Chains A and B, each alone.
Chain A
Amino acid sequence: MSGRVIVITSGKGGVGKTTASANIGVALATTGVSVALVDMDIGLRNLDILMGLENRVVYNLVDVIEERCKLRQALVKDKRLPNLCLLPAAQTRDKTAVNADQMKTLCTELKSMFDFVIVDSPAGIESGFQNAIAGADEGVIITTPEMSAVRDADRIIGLIEARKDEIKDHRLVINRIRPQMVKTNDMMSVEDVLEILSVKLLGIVPEDEEIIISTNKGEPVSGTDNVRSGLAYRNIARRLRGEDVPFMDLDALNNTWVTKLVKFFTPVRA
């Protein structure tokens, strides 16, 4: 078996890399394929908390690389999905504990065990990022519709395109979009972002309070039904598997029963 190594990256911090990694991982695993989530943010690990697996971590990525344990021992199985595993980062070490060659070896080994290997990259473009993309076959760039995030995403896309021999494909996810603000021209639209970045679009994720709740609970939203951001991540996972899924109609999100009711009672003028 040779799986696909997909690195989730953004350049800017706080745009939702870790949230996207957790949700894409869960969404992919729900479709039945085997998935490994790799946290590369050594020293600032969070993915285990989002997955609700913090208390199960015994060994970590650095232990595997420094051969203190076998890879199989360090993989933490998800609470709900038996075909989903997490390889946690070390918390008491820093980015220099790993180098690019070691990451390549690790990714090759993981690829032979799983259909999908999702690597959560740290923010920045320094060694931590370089290590995270070292073994990747594909890239997913996360951005929010803000100028600063888009600028950083542009820089990252440049770095990824420079390695197109290794990273064959890269696509963009626009996160935390607020349809209402786009409508009133207070936020960049999907088209605006795509015009600047001119890159293939993988998905659009609307802003959702449920994300905050799920982060605190340690249960990614894509595992729950009836959550719009969860649906967006499930669509992303299907697109990653090669399915053709139409993009979410953001206007429809505004069309809740309350707005319909308001519209119904608003007199139509000729």
Chain B
Amino acid sequence: MSKIAIISQPDKGVLIDLGGCSSLTEAAHHLTSTLQISSDFWNGVNIDLNLGDLALSPDEVSQIISIAAEVGVKPAQVFASSKVTRSSLEKNAVTIGEGAPMKLPEATSEVVGAQPDDQVLSSAESEAPVEQVSSGEPSPATATDAQDTPTDLAVQSSGDDAATVAPSPEDATAAGEPPAPPAAPPAQPPQPVILYLRQTLRSGQAVSHKGHLVIIGDVNPGAEVLAEGDITVWGALRGIAHAGIGGNTRAEIRALKLQPVQLRIAHAIARSPDSPRKGYSSHSGPETARIVNGTIRISATNPD
């Protein structure tokens, strides 16, 4: 699991989960880099902390609290499972969280590979049925194996630098983020959380999210974006995108420039053709990929 997770709690702001850290130094480092996204980013947001099973002395607890205070954040409540930490929190007069903190859900089951044959992306929906290409891989036998990336609001980065995170649409707008026009369709009950990410994802970076995912920037080859809902890339999608994790076959992937290595929606996989896509240029405009009759099809994005 990641060292730090940012979890949006319905109506209760944001929970910063440091449970994955093994030491105070590590926790302090990740907390600092996360909170320093921007000084006024966390303004007005209710923030809870989860220290997991870290055992911290009163001094160490006050160190954590002062890191938060530097950027004007005062945690509303702090969760800890270690008794030592709980008594240290009491000594520092910090509100201890009642009950169990929200956790990232464990990895979703049934991810990739349920469809043995991969399909080559067709240039347009109107074209003949998608060319079936014999799979490069031996057909996956088990599809129940879980994906390791945690879902929900977790941003992973292979490096130490924490990625920029916007907790929820409300908070994002509060922080001066413009609402992205092609946001998720409103029809899906219950309303999933949308994650706005304002950065280019480079090779080796992966983002996974429980709701819809909007990336304002590019997704480069070697990067992966995964979401239970739709994926919208306001830029070029050149890496791997997996929408509808968990089996939502109505999920869509759309991008201003759709040039992915691979697209996955629910259990379907499509790979890019070996030769450049016929009739495609980078000026083709925004395109949407969705499942039509069990296979992934791409069509021009029309405002409807």
Interface residues of A (CB under 8 A from B): 43-45, 52-59, 66-70, 72-77, 79, 91-94, 218
List 23 A–B pairs whose Cβ atoms lie within 8 Å, in order of A's numbering: A43-B158, A43-B204, A53-B136, A55-B271, A56-B137, A56-B271, A58-B112, A58-B118, A58-B140, A59-B113, A69-B142, A70-B141, A72-B138, A72-B141, A73-B113, A73-B138, A75-B138, A76-B137, A79-B136, A79-B274, A91-B203, A93-B158, A218-B274
Q: B113, A58: Cβ atoms under 8 Å? A: yes
- When distances are taken between beta carbons in the complex, the residues of chain B under 8 Å from A68 are 145-148
- When distances are taken between beta carbons in the complex, the residues of chain B under 8 Å from A69 are 113, 140, 142, 145
Closest beta carbon of chain B to A248's beta carbon, Å: 32
Closest to B272 in A: A55
Closest to B112 in A: A58
Q: For the complex, is B206 an interface residue (Cβ under 8 Å from A)?
A: yes
Q: A52, B137: Cβ atoms under 8 Å? A: no
A56-B137, A69-B113 known; A92+B204 contact, CB < 8 A? yes
Q: A55, B158: Cβ atoms under 8 Å? A: no
Q: B136, A66: Cβ atoms under 8 Å? A: no
Q: For the complex, is B122 an interface residue (Cβ under 8 Å from A)?
A: no
One of B158, B221, B262 near A92 (C-beta < 8 A):
B158
Q: Is the interface of A mostly helix, strand, loop or mixed?
A: loop
Q: 11 more A-B contacts (CB under 8 A) besides A45-B222, A79-B136, A92-B206?
A: A43-B204, A54-B221, A55-B272, A55-B274, A56-B136, A56-B271, A59-B140, A68-B147, A69-B140, A70-B141, A73-B137
One of A59, A70, A92, A94 near B224 (C-beta < 8 A):
A92
- When distances are taken between beta carbons in the complex, the residues of chain A under 8 Å from B140 are 58-59, 69, 73
Bound Cα distance A254, B146 (Å): 57
Closest beta carbon of chain A to B171's beta carbon, Å: 26
- Max chain A Cβ within 10 angstroms of own Cβ: one of B112, B136, B224: B136
- When distances are taken between beta carbons in the complex, the residues of chain A under 8 Å from B224 are 91-92
Q: B137, A77: Cβ atoms under 8 Å? A: yes
Closest to A74 in B: B137
Q: A92, B205: Cβ atoms under 8 Å? A: yes
Closest beta carbon of chain B to A24's beta carbon, Å: 21
Number of residues of chain B lying within 8 A (CB) of chain A: 30
Q: Which of B140-162 contact A (CB under 8 A)?
A: 140-142, 145-148, 156, 158
One of B138, B142, B204, B262 near A55 (C-beta < 8 A):
B262
Bound Cα distance A43, B156 (Å): 14
Q: For the complex, is B261 an interface residue (Cβ under 8 Å from A)?
A: yes
- Max chain A Cβ within 10 angstroms of own Cβ: one of B148, B204, B261: B204
One of B141, B156, B261 near A73 (C-beta < 8 A):
B141
A43-B158, A91-B222, A92-B204 known; A56+B118 contact, CB < 8 A? yes
A56-B136, A58-B113, A77-B136 known; A66+B274 contact, CB < 8 A? no
Closest to A69 in B: B145
- Max chain A Cβ within 10 angstroms of own Cβ: one of B142, B158, B206: B158
Bound Cα distance A79, B274 (Å): 10
Closest to A62 in B: B148
- When distances are taken between beta carbons in the complex, the residues of chain A under 8 Å from B118 are 56, 58
Q: For the complex, is B35 an interface residue (Cβ under 8 Å from A)?
A: no
Bound Cα distance A231, B95 (Å): 72
- Max chain B Cβ within 10 angstroms of own Cβ: one of A66, A67, A68, A93: A68
Closest to B262 in A: A55
- When distances are taken between beta carbons in the complex, the residues of chain B under 8 Å from A66 are 148
Bound Cα distance A75, B136 (Å): 8
Q: Which of B97-121 contact A (CB under 8 A)?
A: 112-113, 118
Closest beta carbon of chain A to B262's beta carbon, Å: 6
Closest to A91 in B: B222
Bound Cα distance A66, B135 (Å): 23
A69-B140, A73-B141, A91-B222 known; A52+B113 contact, CB < 8 A? no
Closest beta carbon of chain B to A220's beta carbon, Å: 15
Q: A76, B136: Cβ atoms under 8 Å? A: yes
Bound Cα distance A54, B138 (Å): 16
Bound Cα distance A64, B181 (Å): 40
